[in-house]
Structure 1
């Protein structure tokens, strides 16, 4: 992990109290999208927590960041843990702090674009005493996780996927639908998301179309992590798109949905 000197930035939160204003349907040839039902309830979006690669991070930690240099006495030894590379603790924010686990995050100066809508805004590191034996009263801190992420809404059983416009079907001002490509970020043995994409929220305003899409995990099976293909998914609009911007509101901060920049496979 290199030394990153960019300070943590404030994150503008999207309200969890959004009104569902539209529906989603599959592209031609695809089965209809399953909207929330009694068997698949609409997730209650938490307003106090976001996810970073599955790790819970409080909104407070991002909006009012505390530098790693302010870790309390029980957690401060984590900075000297095994495999913790040298970095400036004044520029990494505290995402989690416990006596046996510390998570630190650093805002990237330039987001890391892994293609097909998978854009990572932060580097993060998790340091824990649970990875190896410790003597009583002498915890051994070590790195257990290190990667990059973009904070996403906690969608309960669903997971936020990577979303782009379908470059083969670009929207026009006259379009009354938006053709998307949705890619599952979690490991799923190189399978697509057909039949598992759900519209959690769809808000149409005068200036934007805000989307929160979730991918329901297949469940009940182990999976390899070679990357997954994009799946076509179409959103029907209440009126023509016009000059409105299409936004992915499942990521924080909300990001404009752009055409696919490359393939994950």
Structure 2
């Protein structure tokens, strides 16, 4: 049985990382992007498959596609507690992220994602139950219940919340973004540390993966201001959709909420 302590997790985990190049503080062009290095040894992952975390261990993109219904877990010893933990609507619509002898993790996509003027993007519910063996707690219990957006896990960079600075001009060959570092940064912006990890352009969409190189040393945790960042396109935007590839599934970027903090 697991010896991990019981913790009720009610927040957002936003982690990410990659080995990439971009012009610090300036525009990033398609030629400057590199392939991200995947994190290895995640539950159920396959070689080279992108991993995503939702205040949890990282799970492969194929698990987040929801192909295995949680209702298939009926013979598992933690199933009854899992049913009780997800609420009165039961496990219909939930899918399996992890099945172990001492742990079950399930998720479902929200029918209505968070309002874009909320500071934290939430697209999924995630619930975990564990068979706990601690000094004062034993047996199957809820260990996680949270809402978040499955965030790309890479190697070496931190996650960011990214918005369009303004509604983009279809004739433009650049995209103006506002990037908020999610890690503690003593209330400072991420100027010079924003990285364009991945840029994929097609006839109908442009997928961007933005992350932040961590700062050196310790930092306090007041809210971080947004950092302006420009991405150069191979050709004018046109009617193509701009997609945030740091979450699963990729989601159109929202225009930044009015009054977003830009620093002093």
Q: Under a length normalisation based on structure 2, what TM-score does the superposition of the two structures give?
A: 0.70
Residue ranges of structure 2 left out of the alignment (5+ in a row): 1-19, 39-47
CA-to-aligned-CA distance 1:18-38 (integer Å, 9 cap, x gap): xx9xx8546xxx46779999x
Aligned residue for 1:106?
108
Counterpart contact for 1:125–1:146, Cα < 8 Å: yes
CA-to-aligned-CA distance 1:106-147 (integer Å, 9 cap, x gap): 221101236377421111123234584378xxx423333322
**Distance between the aligned counterparts of 1:250 and 1:206, measured in 2?**
20
SS in 1 for 2:59: strand
Aligned residue for 1:247?
243
Shift of 1:261: 2.6
**Distance between the aligned counterparts of 2:231 and 2:54, measured in 1?**
26
How do 1:141-156 and structure 2 match up within 5 A?
A: 141-156=140-155
Aligned residue for 1:207?
204
Number of residue pairs the alignment of both structures matches: 231
Counterpart contact for 2:50–2:152, Cα < 8 Å: no
SS in 2 for 1:79: helix
**Distance between the aligned counterparts of 1:161 and 1:214, measured in 2?**
6
Counterpart contact for 1:49–1:153, Cα < 8 Å: yes
**Distance between the aligned counterparts of 1:56 and 1:104, measured in 2?**
13
**Distance between the aligned counterparts of 1:99 and 1:72, measured in 2?**
11
Residue ranges of structure 1 left out of the alignment (5+ in a row): 1-19
Structure 2 residue corresponding to 1:73, chosen from 70, 73, 76: 76
* Cα pair distance change 1:227/1:239, threshold 3 Å: same
How do 1:211-250 and structure 2 match up within 5 A?
A: 211-218=208-215, 220-221=217-218, 223-224=220-221, 226-250=222-246
* Cα pair distance change 1:131/1:156, threshold 3 Å: farther
The question of 1:44 aligning with 2:44 is answered no
